[in-house]
Structure 1
């Protein structure tokens, strides 16, 4: 588990805002971080005791419930082995990684970062939402939103979000005390460490911005809320959203293990075209590559098609591109 993400969940727990699954995360990973000074300082002796009692209770509950049940050993990814080893050394919580029982397993969160000299990072969240993460920025989120009441992510830096619509599960971006809540929309959030302000800019749909539980405003396309971190005041203005999202197109873009269909959405936005797929197998192919900022549409398509053993045809009159496999053309 990413330490910063753990700290954010711990703050929610102390404010009685943590969901049941988030509390399970805290119970599962507390022992791994409990020796850290910045974590110890947050908790009173009573709160430390309460969390440890929850840990012991959860372990004994698992033992009591599953005595005599065949246990299936699961494969661990590299990071999973490291956490399991650390937990085994501490002597608590390792059981959660070593055995898989016939019940849902709480998945650990993932954390993505884009740093210099790498370009901006394009990634797809577990729900299918698309994000362009500015270099030097960091986005933390759970590996699955299944079973959660909200789709919550934690941002440090700047990112452009294109959120998949879900009426039943709001999407929440946390940037310190500021929360940006949406159902399905496209917007930019900038919360760079050291900057005096946090800005939220909407390009499509509607978002709600709040400071803890205080509503700062609800904004629609070409509107922006700016929150002054030092003075704790906000201002809502009408702007041209394109001026605040131009960064997504002016730098190189790194595609990390994305499908051709997901990358096509980026090309559609950048070049104002419609991309169709004659073969869904091509659409679902994964690849990793860097998209050069100076590349034109033809160059970008040729590069991605070469990766995916595909070809394309371009109807300029209709601004429509059709992607198909090379075998279909023969």
Structure 2
């Protein structure tokens, strides 16, 4: 089954009218294939709001009705389930609304101006564990380096003259093959990054405060996804970085950054600029598959650190961080996957 949190986020964006065509394809595939108990309970969690907000009119065609009927036949009607947050007898009615909504949207977004497209393209997905990095080559010869704790979804084939769309959760560095007739678009939560051919890094973990788009070469356009249309935030060129605050939707653009540092993590070269300890331990956790246990009542966020670590083991990094804190930071390496942090003056 696909990642539960990711599918739930797509359902929510679909309910708000913000899901991209690529995300609608993934959601339709999920509804067609994953029919286990956990899936049905997740499905139910999203239904109450959707039921209230469903529009009175929706395009109905022979294709959508046939696909709708086929999917409904696969939904088990006698399976016992744990209690969920909506009334039992509304469960399948509400589920039907979402299925029909997605099926209708699928055919709508596949329909060109004069004729319906019937060919669908399969999608692939790769999820990395913390401490893992993988290299992915797409059908257009673009290269993507996926960082730890991340997920990338992409179509197995791109269609010449149409957009090349992929979906990222986490961090990745992109080396995009230039094709002026087929813009390359990375969807990462609220933000989309569009290019023709260039290299850039996207840091977009959903639970982190900020997203960051950093350009090593070429030019990209960063936009915020909207209900009806996207809003351009900025055009970035080499050495520029956009930081997007995911709660407030504010953003800042920095110039004159070192482009070589944007993908240094691929070679285990980590660079931190004015970063607090929380940000540093979060990245170290993903890059080294380390769990940090912070003890005591003192907060570490007031420590700002500028440091670079070139392919160093985690023990050496912790030693240097302790020295940079002026001896205020103490640590203990419990095992290869666990480190405890504390300040001596704090209980």
TM-score, normalised by the number of residues in structure 2? 0.52
- The CA deviation at 1:11 is 2.5
- The CA deviation at 1:193 is 3.5
SS in 1 for 2:241: strand
Match of 1:188 among 191, 197, 201: 201
Query: Aligned partners of 1:161 and 1:88: how far apart in 2?
Result: 38
Query: Aligned partners of 2:44 and 2:69: how far apart in 1?
Result: 30
Task: Answer yes or no: is the 8 Å Cα contact 2:169–2:205 preserved in 1.
Answer: yes
SS in 1 for 2:46: helix
In the alignment, what sits opposite 1:130?
143
In the alignment, what sits opposite 2:222?
209
Query: Aligned partners of 1:5 and 1:16: how far apart in 2?
Result: 14
Aligned residue pairs total: 222
In the alignment, what sits opposite 1:319?
none
Match of 1:43 among 41, 50, 55: 50
Query: Aligned partners of 2:129 and 2:201: how far apart in 1?
Result: 19
Unaligned runs of 5+ in 2: 78-95, 100-116, 270-310, 313-347
Match of 2:120 among 103, 106, 110: 106
Query: Aligned partners of 1:191 and 1:159: how far apart in 2?
Result: 9
**Deviation string for 1:26-72 (max 9, x for gaps)?**
55654656761343245236749978966874527999xxxxxxxxx
Match of 1:242 among 260, 264, 276: 260
- The CA deviation at 1:204 is 0.9
In the alignment, what sits opposite 1:59?
66
In the alignment, what sits opposite 2:86?
none
- The CA deviation at 1:150 is 1.6
In the alignment, what sits opposite 1:149?
162
- The CA deviation at 1:164 is 1.0
Query: Aligned partners of 1:147 and 1:90: how far apart in 2?
Result: 40
Query: Aligned partners of 1:138 and 1:196: how far apart in 2?
Result: 18
Query: Aligned partners of 1:61 and 1:28: how far apart in 2?
Result: 13
Query: Are residues 1:230 and 2:247 paired?
Result: yes
Query: Are residues 1:120 and 2:120 paired?
Result: no
Query: Aligned partners of 1:142 and 1:196: how far apart in 2?
Result: 29
**Deviation string for 1:242-271 (max 9, x for gaps)?**
1232101127xxxxxxxxxxxxxxxxxxxx
